[in-house]
Amino acid sequence: MRSLTRRQQIAAAALSVLALLFITLDFTGGAFSGARGGTTGALGSLYRGTDAIVGPARRFVQGIPDVGRDRTELARLQQDNARLRAQLTDQAADASTAQQLKGLQLQADSAGWQTMPTRVVATGPGAGFQWTVTVDVGSREHITAGQTVTDGAALIGRVLRVYPTTSVVLLVADKNSAVGVRDTRSGELLLAKGTGVTGMLATPLDNQLDVRKGDQLVTGPVGQSTYVAGIAVGTVTSVTTTAGGSVTVSVRPAAAQTGLNLIGVVLQQPRTTARAPLTSVGGTLGAG
Amino acid sequence: MTFSRIALALAGVLTVLLVQATLISPLTFPVPVSLPALLVVIVAIYAGPGVGVGFGFAVGLVADLGSAHPAGVQALCWLGAGLLAGRVGGLAVGRRYGTRAVAGLAAVLAAGSSLSVTLILAVLGYPVPSVTSAVAWTVPIALTDALLGLLLVPLIRKLLRAYSIRPPRADAVLLGRPADVFIRSASVDGQRRSGALR
């Protein structure tokens, strides 16, 4: 074991006493504040320079333990984000659905119908027709072929085929669809046929009819139509008369034929009371 | 002490303090691993207790002045660590212990010096961890110091054995009776000489 020489022993003792003296002076009165400030300042500048060099490596090493946690956190946040987005979408869809239900209810209330709300579960060609949608109600809900389908404000189409839990609805824009309509301004009757993307073309029963651009058309008693009367069908966009004298009326459907979600099937309304005839009361007509 | 030794010591102290502040402390927080203390101990092991005392005091004082606690605490503790390491290290060096053994010895001594610093600061009333925590931290400090020592020991040993910083001393080997000395090899005025000394 090595030992200190005599001079080294004296030096070690002196340094020890000096260290104790420093501790005492600094602890009691802060005698080294100036020296400390200078040293700290000089080292601080060097720390910044050194940190620029070793900092990236240090931060890399410091980040290693957090890699798994960060990934887990990121995955959790992504799941939360997706869930919140789904909630927002659901809320928007719910609001839209509620609005559509409200429209169906208003229409049913005002017309005295019973309407079966249903959701479109599929679209596209079906049953040999081009413009059809499949809804999630069927014979179990007492849906029958030929029933009118509405979105609460306008005509959508009619039930074409019925299955136990689903039904196929033929849209009015389909080329095989024909709807008897009435001009609400003039009361003229027309037969509107679907033309696909361009909407509908209406053919008057009488070429001397009074139909103008902008007239509103509602379902009316024409032909073998099974549609419930009085539902908005569309708006006249143009009236064309050919050289042969035939008149063609272009109609823009009142209900969008695409993007359908919640619609209603109008059930046959039971007539519970006999309709009262109108009688003359003091020169005016009134219900007897 | 030659200029090259002083320059090397200053460079070593400065480098270790900077690495301690920017790399070791952030990475080992809250375990107070001290690279300067480890440096003092390893230098003392290879250079002896005399160098260890002076080097420990100098490094500790600079570290004290760069810290918030009273100046002299680390100077005193590392002085003692240098003294102890110089004395105990003589055995390790004399028996030609390997790097791992020296690193282990240095780690134990450095951890002890860190513990002593914590205890003195606790006595002075500074906000340091409890004595229990300080003692419990000694083991991770020693383990970390041992790992760091595996890197530092070969480096410091090589630097201290470098011819340019070795202390000037005669390396004559005496053969035979004092009256008739044959110098097999000696350094005279910087040149190697050999021959009989009358």
Q: Is the peptide bond before B129 cis (omega within 30 degrees of 0)?
A: no
| B65 contacts chain A (CB < 8 A) | yes
Q: Which residue has the tokens 């549609």?
A: A227
Pair B107, B180 in one domain: no
Which pLDDT value is given to residue A275?
A: 64
State whether B63 and B99 are in the same domain. Answer: yes
CA B129 to chain centre: 26
Judge if B189 and B161 occupy the same domain. Answer: no
The answer to whether the beta carbons of residues A260 and A239 sit under 8 Å apart is no
More confident residue, A152 or A127: A152
Of A159, A228, A171, nearest to A195 by C-alpha is A171
CB-CB: which of B54, B72, B83 is closest to A19? B72
- Cβ within 8 Å, pair B70-A20: no
Task: Looking at the structure, tell me whether residues B77 and B128 fall in a common domain.
Answer: yes
Matching residue, tokens 């260890």? B52
Closest CA to B40 of B68, B75, B2: B75
Minimal CA separation from A47 to chain B, in Å: 6
Residues B31 and B117 grouped into a single domain:
yes
In chain B, which stretches have pLDDT less than 70?
Answer: 1, 127-129, 163-198
Q: Which residues 147-186 in chain B show a CB within 8 A of chain A? A: none
Q: How far is CA A131 from CA A125, A175, A179, B133, in A?
A: 6, 8, 15, 79
Position A13 confidence tier, pLDDT thresholds 50, 70, 90: very high
Contact A50 B18 (CB under 8 A): yes
- Token output for B163: 């011819």
Q: Where are the domains of chain A?
A: 32-112, 114-267
B118/B182 same-domain check: no
Contacts with B53 from chain A: Cβ below 8 Å:
4, 8, 11-12, 15
User: Do B33 and B124 reside in the same domain of the chain?
Assistant: yes
How far is A235 from A254, CA to CA, in rounded Å? 7
Domain containing B63 — which CATH number?
1.10.1760
Tokens of B25: 């402390």
What single letter denotes the amino acid at residue A197?
V
Full residue range of the structural domain in which residue B181 is found: 170-198
> What's the pLDDT tens digit per position in A35-70?
877 887 777 777 777 777 877 887 787 777 777 777
pLDDT band at A126 (very low <50, low <70, confident <90, very high): very low
Model confidence at A33: pLDDT above 90: no
- If one counts the domains in chain B, the total is 2
Is B66 close to A43, i.e. CB distance below 8 A? yes
B9 and B96 in a single domain? The answer is: yes
When scoring B43, B45, B59, B64 by the number of chain A Cβ atoms within 10 A, the one with the most, hence best to mutate, is B64
pLDDT exceeding 90 applies to what percent of chain A? Answer: 4
Going by pLDDT thresholds of 50, 70 and 90, the confidence category of residue A142 is confident
Mind listing the pLDDT tens digit for each residue in A258-287? 777 788 888 865 555 666 676 666 555 554
DSSP letters for A93-138: HHHHHHHHHHHHHHHHHHHT-EEEEEEEEEES-BTTBSSEEEES--
For residues A23 and B72, is the Cβ–Cβ distance under 8 A?
Answer: yes
Is residue A148 a contact partner of residue A263, using CB atoms and an 8 Å limit?
Answer: no
Mean pLDDT of chain A: 78
Same domain, B126 and B193: no
B155 and B195 part of one domain? no
Residues of chain A with a CB closer than 8 angstroms to some CB in chain B = 1-5, 8, 11-12, 15-16, 18-23, 25-27, 32, 35-36, 39-40, 43, 46-47, 50-51, 54-55, 57-58, 61-62
Query: What gap in Å lies between CA B110 and CA A199, rounded to an integer?
Result: 90
- The two three-digit tokens of residue B64, written as one number: 């004290």
Extract the tokens encoding A50. Answer: 């050194």
B31 shares its domain with B122: yes
Task: Tell me which fold the domain A114-267 belongs to.
Answer: Thrombin, subunit H (2.40.10)
Residue B163: the pLDDT is: 62
More confident residue, A138 or A125: A138
Q: Which of A72-81, A109-118, A137-146, A155-164 has the lowest mean pLDDT?
A: A109-118
* CA nearest to A230, candidates A181, A275, A268: A181
Question: Are residues A1 and B88, on separate chains, in Cβ contact within 8 Å?
Answer: yes
With CA atoms as reference, the chain B residue closest to A12 would be B53
Q: Are B93 and B187 in the same domain?
A: no
